């Protein structure tokens, strides 16, 4: 199995690759791809490509639907860089509460003043700030990062508000019991001094911080965005900063507007840029690709349903990526059941929206004629013989 890296990938992940896996510099011969930030939308898909693993959480650089229809599973690594992002959220919050940035610049600009030790006592008043103890923070999105932020802020003595319509009930125990779950974003906006965003970019979340939502927030609110640039409407944010509605906007995504906007602390996309985060993401991504190749398991896919499988102990295993239609599942199962000298031991069918993944464990080895017959069915994206 040949693996190509579109970006530099931590050696801690690559060191996990043992024969029959080997790295290749030629993307066109790759069967597996590891990627971080490289944009794949216009890329020519290698003929033998079966899976892509993004060493990170966001997958905006990957054409998910296009790859799904080509039978290419796309993985990401949620939670692997969560601590690195959490720590930068805390740093951004402290930088916004205290004018540390302004103070550092003052010292740098006055470094040649022989009396700086005295003049600083007069100058420091302009860099005063507030403490975060006792302040309220609203966490929008309580996934891997949001949970860590909530627990860290509780330890710092803050009041916690959270909003997440997709949070499973069984994961709520991982959050501080003091956290107040908001039924609406309006409730969160009205009660918090800091608001931090931890949601994916979707048509529903794009521009969610806009003129209307900003009008519902407390005067002097601080907004932290370590998720995606376009979650925030820059025009509305600039007006809110000018009116003092927003004290500071901290973003990890500089653009020509925010980089030149007063009241904005732009961090150069450092959220996951720690050695530990890059190592964790690489290890997780490599393990996902290897596991999918060896067992057919799909874990943390963003374009196909998850399906955790043990090592195959039967004579053969087929993994089929296909359209999610009941008739197709019936047709596949009937074809295999009636194929000469073939018996299904186990069938697993998992679905995700309009795509599905079906795995058959068979009592006999798999013939090429069976695969040819299955490929004649409409709606099949890809068939893999796993064993």
Q: Which of 138-142, 267-271, 377-381 has the lowest mean pLDDT?
A: 267-271
Domain boundary pick from 212, 239, 266: 266
User: How many H helices and E strands in the chain?
Assistant: 12, 16
**What does the pLDDT average to over 219-226?**
98
Q: Is residue 91 over pLDDT 90?
A: yes
Question: Are 91 and 234 found together in one domain?
Answer: yes
**What does the pLDDT average to over 265-269?**
95
The whole-number pLDDT of residue 57 equals 84
In contact, 247 and 96? CB cutoff 8 Å: yes
Peptide bond just before 20 cis, omega within 30 deg: yes
- How far apart (Å, rounded) are the C-alpha atoms in residues 382 and 332? 13
Number of domains in the chain: 3
- Beta-carbon neighbour count of residue 339 at 10 Å? 18
Residues 6+ apart with CB under 8 A from 98: 127, 128, 129, 130
Q: How large a percentage of the chain has pLDDT more than 70?
A: 100
Question: Are 87 and 224 found together in one domain?
Answer: yes
Query: How many Cα atoms are found within 13 Å in the side-chain-facing hemisphere of 177?
Result: 0
DSSP letters for 248-290 = EEEES---TTGGG-TTEEE--S-TT-SHHHHHHHHHHHHHHHH
Question: Are 99 and 116 found together in one domain?
Answer: yes
Question: Are 102 and 194 found together in one domain?
Answer: yes
Tokens of 367: 């013939």
299 by DSSP, 3-state: which?
coil
Q: Is residue 213 over pLDDT 90?
A: yes
The whole-number pLDDT of residue 124 equals 93
In tens, the pLDDT along 315-327 reads 999 999 999 998 9
Angle between helices 116-123 and 100-109 (to 10 degrees): 150
The whole-number pLDDT of residue 326 equals 83
- Alpha-carbon 6 to chain mean position: 18
**Domain residues for 63?**
1-81+274-304
Question: Are 130 and 229 found together in one domain?
Answer: yes
Question: Are 33 and 120 found together in one domain?
Answer: no
The whole-number pLDDT of residue 30 equals 97
Give me the residue label for tokens 């150069």.
268
Tokens of 27: 């993307």
Question: Are 222 and 281 found together in one domain?
Answer: no
Domain boundary pick from 266, 296, 327: 266
Bridge partners, residue 355, by sequence: 323, 352
Q: Is residue 377 over pLDDT 90?
A: yes
The whole-number pLDDT of residue 272 equals 84
- The secondary element (H helix, E strand) that includes residue 160 is strand 159-163
pLDDT band of residue 147 (cuts 50, 70, 90) is: very high
Question: Are 278 and 199 found together in one domain?
Answer: no
Give me the residue label for tokens 């290897």.
290
Question: Are 147 and 257 found together in one domain?
Answer: yes
Q: Domain containing 347 — which CATH number?
A: 3.30.70.260
Question: Are 5 and 73 found together in one domain?
Answer: yes
Question: Are 69 and 19 found together in one domain?
Answer: yes
The whole-number pLDDT of residue 310 equals 94
Q: Domain containing 278 — which CATH number?
A: 3.40.50.720
pLDDT band of residue 221 (cuts 50, 70, 90) is: very high
- Left (φ > 0), alpha (ψ -120 to 50) or beta: where does 183 sit? alpha
Please, what is the average pLDDT of the chain?
Answer: 96
Q: Is residue 354 over pLDDT 90?
A: yes
Question: Are 228 and 100 found together in one domain?
Answer: yes
**What does the pLDDT average to over 30-52?**
96
- How far apart (Å, rounded) are the C-alpha atoms in residues 87 and 94? 11
Domain boundary pick from 253, 282, 304: 304
Q: How large a percentage of the chain has pLDDT more than 90?
A: 94
49 by DSSP, 3-state: which?
coil
Alpha-helical segments (H) within the chain: 11-14, 64-69, 82-97, 100-109, 116-123, 144-155, 185-191, 211-215, 234-242, 275-295, 326-338, 368-375
């Amino acid at each position: 199995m040949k693996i190509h890296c579109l970006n530099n990938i931590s050696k801690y992940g690559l060191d996990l690759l043992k024969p029959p896996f080997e790295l290749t510099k030629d993307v066109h011969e790759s069967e597996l791809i590891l990627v971080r930030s490289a944009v794949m939308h216009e890329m020519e898909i290698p003929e033998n490509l079966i899976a892509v693993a993004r060493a990170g959480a966001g997958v905006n650089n990957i054409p998910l639907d296009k790859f799904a229809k080509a039978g290419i599973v796309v993985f990401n690594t949620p939670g692997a860089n969560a601590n690195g992002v959490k720590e930068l959220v805390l740093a951004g919050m402290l930088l916004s509460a205290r004018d540390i940035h302004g103070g550092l610049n003052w010292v740098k600009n006055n470094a040649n003043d022989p009396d700086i030790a005295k003049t600083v006592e007069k100058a420091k008043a302009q860099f005063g700030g507030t403490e975060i103890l006792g302040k309220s923070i609203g966490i929008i999105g309580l996934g891997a990062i949001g949970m860590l932020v909530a627990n860290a802020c509780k330890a710092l003595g803050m009041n916690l508000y959270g909003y997440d319509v997709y949070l499973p009930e069984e994961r709520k125990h991982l959050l501080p019991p003091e956290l107040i779950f908001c039924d609406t974003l309006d409730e969160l906006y009205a009660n918090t001094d800091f608001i931090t965003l931890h949601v994916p970019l979707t048509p529903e979340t794009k521009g969610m911080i806009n003129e209307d939502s900003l009008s519902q927030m407390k005067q002097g609110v601080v907004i932290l965005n370590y998720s995606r640039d376009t979650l925030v409407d820059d025009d509305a944010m600039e007006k809110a900063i000018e009116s003092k509605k927003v004290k500071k906007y901290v973003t990890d995504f500089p653009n020509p507007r925010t980089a030149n906007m007063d009241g904005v602390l732009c961090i150069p996309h450092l959220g996951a840029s720690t050695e530990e985060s890059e190592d964790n993401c690489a290890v997780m991504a490599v393990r996902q690709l290897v596991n999918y190749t060896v067992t057919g398991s799909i874990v943390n896919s963003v374009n196909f349903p998850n399906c955790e499988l043990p090592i195959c102990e039967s004579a053969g295993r087929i993994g089929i990526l296909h359209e999610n239609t009941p008739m197709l599942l019936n047709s596949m199962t009937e074809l295999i059941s009636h194929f000469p000298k073939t018996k299904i031991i186990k069938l697993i069918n998992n679905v995700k929206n309009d795509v599905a993944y079906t795995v058959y464990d068979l009592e006999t080895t798999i013939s090429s004629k069976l695969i040819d017959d299955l490929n004649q069915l409409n709606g099949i994206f890809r068939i893999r013989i796993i064993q």
